[in-house]
Amino acid sequence: MIEQPVFIALDFPDATTTCKFLEPFSDLVEKPALKIGMELFYRTGPEFITELRALGYTIFLDLKLYDIPNTVGRAVANISKLDVQYLTLHAAGGKRMLEAAVANKSDALKLLAVTQLTSFSEAEIQEIQLTTATIEESVAHLAELAYSAGIDGTISSPLEASLIKLHTNDRFLRITPGIRLAGDAAGDQVRVTTPAEAKKLKSTGLVVGRSITKSTNPVAAYQRVVNEWRK
């Protein structure tokens, strides 16, 4: 498994578009890790995951599971058979749901719990979730909940990575989306940083979408992110 992974978020509508995007990456000695979200997975299904694995890609399946414990447990058992390396679920599903996921996963699968979406501001979280908790309080609580249930790490803004480390331990994964290269637009993300800033904030892995996928030279943009992240 790749240490300190940089996942490219493949937010494409279909397999054809995705494969065309990936063509220039085929010559790299170390293939990038790939994040497959709901949009692409629901269109292409498990077969496309199998194809990408056969090509040697590390796969992060971002489905953000949230349901009753039995349903999530059975879903994780089925997803484990796809030989993906990472899978997301919502920490807000509660400890019993998280424990059901842990009990049904394969040894090779890392489970990542979503704390608060990077598209949310603190005001939105408080309004939608009917809470007076700050972002930091909410993220710390959900990270502790996931850690206590045996989850491998979290998905959160890099701005909360140091806080999560403080409330868990150094081995707990802190994978952070909301990454932009300097000068790139934030888009619909609210809590964003550069790769270098994320490293200082104690992220252990990055998810990068538009800064790579919308670049005129995606391979160069990816390498710039990796170099900035790992230097």
The residues annotated with a catalytic role in the active site are 64
Instruction: List, as own/partner pairs, every contact residues 224-227 make where C-beta atoms lie below 8 angstroms and the sequence separation is at least 24, other chains included.
Output: 224/181, 225/6, 225/179, 225/181, 225/195, 226/6
Query: Which token pair is 103?
Result: 């009990």
Q: Which has the closest alpha carbon to 80: 107, 62, 49, 42?
A: 107
Best CA proximity match to 110, nearest among 62, 69, 66, 53? 62
- For 12, left (φ over 0), alpha (ψ -120 to 50), or beta? beta
